[in-house]
Amino acid sequence: MSHATELVQRSAWQVVIPDAPQALGLAGGRVFIAGCEGTALAVDSGTGQTVGSQQVEGGLLGIAPSGDGSKAILAGPFGSWLWTIDGGDVVELAGKSWCSVARWANEQRFALATGRYVSVFDQTGELLWKSEQFPSTVTDFSWLGSYRRLAVASYGGVHLVEPRPGGSSTLMPFRGSLLALASTPNGRWIVSGNQDATLQVFRSDKDVRLEMEGYPSKISRVAFDSTGRFLANDGAPEVSVWDFRGKGPSGTAPVLLVPSDRSGDPEIGSFSWHPSKPLIAVGWDDGDCLIYRPTDGVHGKPLGALDQVFAADSSVEALHWGHDGRSIFVAESSGLISRCDVIADEAA
């Protein structure tokens, strides 16, 4: 690990929530935390001061803030809600149905998955559209390109859906259980992480499907960087980073991001791409939070970290790179939430 660039300046603030963090989001100068026992918290990203809180019966699985940070969708095993932060109002969205995935398209609308359906709502929580029933539970979805289409993952493949009355629906088949979905900003590439320890890569504009196999365990985390060039995924002791430029990753191997202490076999806790530079932060379950520059790596070879954000006292459960690229927000399993300031320009 090289510290020559002195990327990390300091820990700016820390707060503790009385819950085990499940998910973390960032929008409108606010950090949003969802706890597995139902705690929802919004804090000012600059000061760490609490600006809103809610408690949901039955626990939470995710939280999705609107772009301006004024609202957040709370997703849990016993329902989903639209939370207006400043007023404290909470609107129930889809009854008591299990909801683990919710994403905003823009400030005017968002979608969420409940059971075998995907529904689209406006910013007030009014239902605009509900899909036909998919073959099995929807495990993930992604807004594509101009937000006029959704890529929806359920057993049997990825469905490309126009979320409007009479909209088209096209199946890109794959016989397997899809766990996570990611798409490039232009919607050209769609990637699923799967129960069978493979990555399935689809082209939305062609009948093309690639497969990356050989992983030792299921792949439940996939994420493209902001340019759509790089894809990161779990499924191994290392974080794999694939290069999608040109004709894509066919016939290549990923760069492998390794922990600083490989003897303890730490597992991947979370990762987050820098908003505009080829940098990725990875949190490990041994508490290390590290920064990597995948362009320094060689395909098929391990790559060590560029620098360390900090060593946490417990597992890193979630992290998010700030929108200005100068801070990383980290949630530990103990309930400690930290903001660490970073000089990303030095590393680019």
Lookup: tokens for 71: 């609202």
For residue 2, is pLDDT > 50? no
Whether the per-residue pLDDT at 344 is higher than 90: the answer is: no
In our burial notation (b when 16+ CB lie closer than 10 A, e otherwise), range 100-110 reads bbbbbbeeebb
Question: Residue 212: what are its φ and ψ, rounded to 5°?
Answer: -110, 120
pLDDT, tens digit, 9 for 90 and up, residues 287-330? 999 999 999 999 999 999 998 887 888 999 999 999 999 999 99
* pLDDT band of 281, cuts 50, 70, 90: very high
Q: In this predicted structure, what is the pLDDT of residue 145?
A: 84
Tell me which of 95 and 38 has the higher pLDDT: 38
Q: Are 232 and 271 in contact (CB under 8 A)?
A: yes
User: Once rounded to an integer, what is the mean pLDDT over residues 246-260?
Assistant: 89
Q: Report strand pairing: 302-303 vs 255-257.
A: parallel
Higher pLDDT, 50 or 310: 50
Residue 163 has pLDDT above 90, yes or no: yes
Indicate if the pLDDT at residue 8 is higher than 60.
no
CATH class of 8-108+184-346: mainly beta
pLDDT of amino acid 4: 36
Q: Where are the domains of the chain?
A: 8-108+184-346
Q: Residues with Cβ < 8 Å from 69, sequence gap 6 or more? A: 27, 28, 29, 30, 32, 42, 85
| Residue 327: both structure tokens together | 């801070």
Dump the DSSP string for 53-108.
EEE-TT--SEEEE-TTSSEEEEEETTEEEEEETTT--EEE-STT--EEEEEESSSS
Top-confidence residue, 144 or 8: 144
Residue found under tokens 């970073």: 342
At residue 202, does pLDDT exceed 50? Answer: yes
